[in-house]
A and B are shown apart, each in its own frame.
Chain A
Amino acid sequence: MMKRAQQIWVSAALLLCSAGCIHVNRPPVPPTVDTTAEYPADEFRKDYAAYQAAVKNGTAPDLQSARLLRNQMVNRIEVDIEKHYREFEQSLTSGRSGLEVGSDVVELGLSSAIGVVGATDIKDLLAASLTGFHGTRLSVDKNIFREKTTEILISQMQASRDSVRNRITQKISGIDVSGYPFEEAWRDLVEFFYAGTLPGALQQLQNDAGHAAAAARQEATTIDVNRANTAAEAQAAIRIRSKYAELARMAENPETRDGAIKQLQDILMGLGDTAGARNTAPADLLKALRTQMGAAASDPAKLNLLDKLITPAPR
């Protein structure tokens, strides 16, 4: 039995090795792509010094030369970042899938071994190993990759990088060194680099999820009326409006005008609108009442109070 278990382990190890050794991710890298993209630090320092000198001189030809130098430095740094990013993307894809395949092989091997091993203590040991291994795998997925698939992470990195790269390209092609100095481009290049990292992608995914949630909340708040009026409130609204019409007619008639003014002042006073109630002109009092009615449409307490104030008390 022990020999059989050993055979399973050896097979698993061989499978794991062979999975890691097969190159299925990309064709061979051409030498022009593999070797020419380096921008050595001393060369960069020389270019940067020449750029600073040209900017300092400040003549039109110097500024033009500084612009060309800036663009050249930016493009060379961009190529280096691009090259390293592509390698990172490849290793992320193949490394993670290799890890997944290897983990599957180990788990399958352990499960099979548990089935064929007879000794209880060895069986328990294998079962404990399987549980531990499974837990480790889940932990890696949860804590390093935040349970995001490689495709989602790469897609996010590409989107973020494209966004920063487009910004840089637009600026270097359209703005001179006074509007977009190399130092600002440098800052954008650093952002370009970090847009192509796992923490950058995870952060952006988190931000996007947050923005989507905020947009949904914003949408919800753009509904003007979230509370429905009841049938009783709709009836009260009709009574209030009828009373308003009655008061407006009374205010037009010299014989009933004073009575209308008194009633309007009482209603406004009852609503706590002391400023409105101080008016003596019927038109001003009616205008103040209209304002209060408008507010009552979305304020059930005010609507109820207004309804009571316009309804004559039973004698």
Chain B
Amino acid sequence: MEKTFDGNFSREELENTLNTTEQLEFVRLTKLQKRDASPPANTGTFEDDDSPDSPKPLVLVALNGAADLPATIARQLTQKRKLACQGQAYVSGVEKLIAIFR
């Protein structure tokens, strides 16, 4: 399933909203990317999650550029989080590279 989220959400708001969606709608985020059409919005792609167990919460990290990604992945690994997906997305209305961990 695909769902669009307001591109003006802050990083925290987007993270909370994605987590709420995953937990309550029994889906798992596989991709998040900015939508081309106006107004700014992000399209989240989810796959069905039939397991009754609660998925590990998502953590969104806004990067300064692709060069930041390896170090960010390494930092998140120390907290036992793996990269779920990454993509260009709107955060507070501004396009950024977002890495999503769980």
CB-based contact B54/A222 at 8 Å: no
Q: Which chain A residues border B19 with CB–CB below 8 Å?
A: 229, 234, 237-238
Q: CA separation between A286 and B26, bound complex, in Å?
A: 12
Q: CA separation between A229 and B17, bound complex, in Å?
A: 5
Within 8 A of B (CB), among A263-315: 286, 290, 293-294, 296-297, 303
Task: Determine whether A224 belongs to the interface, using a CB cutoff of 8 Å to chain B.
Answer: yes
Q: CA separation between A276 and B53, bound complex, in Å?
A: 22
| Residue from A225, A241, A249, A294 in contact with B4 in the complex, judged by beta carbons closer than 8 Å | A225
Cβ contacts A199-228/B at 8 Å (1 or 0 each): 000000000000000001001101111111
Q: Which chain B residues border A293 with CB–CB below 8 Å?
A: 24-26
CB-based contact A244/B52 at 8 Å: yes
Task: Determine whether A69 belongs to the interface, using a CB cutoff of 8 Å to chain B.
Answer: no
- Distance of B102 from chain A, by nearest CB (Å): 12
CB-based contact B26/A222 at 8 Å: no
Q: CA separation between A222 and B5, bound complex, in Å?
A: 10
Task: Determine whether A245 belongs to the interface, using a CB cutoff of 8 Å to chain B.
Answer: yes
- Distance of A260 from chain B, by nearest CB (Å): 12
Q: CA separation between A229 and B19, bound complex, in Å?
A: 9
Given A234-B16, A293-B24, A224:B52 Cβ within 8 A? no
Chain B binding surface, main DSSP class = mixed
Given A228-B9, A233-B16, A297-B20, A245:B54 Cβ within 8 A? yes
Q: Which chain B residues border A303 with CB–CB below 8 Å?
A: 20, 24
CB-based contact A241/B23 at 8 Å: yes
Q: Which chain B residues border A241 with CB–CB below 8 Å?
A: 23-24, 54-55
- Distance of A296 from chain B, by nearest CB (Å): 6
Within 8 A of B (CB), among A65-91: none
CB-based contact A240/B3 at 8 Å: no
Q: Which of B37-45, B67-75, B79-87, B93-101 contacts A (4 or more CB under 8 A)?
A: B37-45
Q: CA separation between A205 and B21, bound complex, in Å?
A: 43
- Distance of B89 from chain A, by nearest CB (Å): 13
CB-based contact B26/A290 at 8 Å: yes
CB-based contact A223/B4 at 8 Å: yes
Q: CA separation between A283 and B5, bound complex, in Å?
A: 32
CB-based contact B3/A245 at 8 Å: no
Task: Determine whether A230 belongs to the interface, using a CB cutoff of 8 Å to chain B.
Answer: yes
CB-based contact B52/A229 at 8 Å: no
Chain B CB within 10 Å, residue with most, of A286, A296, A297: A297
Q: CA separation between A249 and B52, bound complex, in Å?
A: 9
Q: Which chain A residues border B37 with CB–CB below 8 Å?
A: 219, 222
Q: CA separation between A234 and B14, bound complex, in Å?
A: 11
CB-based contact B16/A294 at 8 Å: no
Q: Which chain A residues border B41 with CB–CB below 8 Å?
A: 223
| Sample of 4 further A-B pairs with CB below 8 A, known A233-B20, A237-B24, A297-B20 | A225-B17, A230-B16, A294-B24, A297-B24
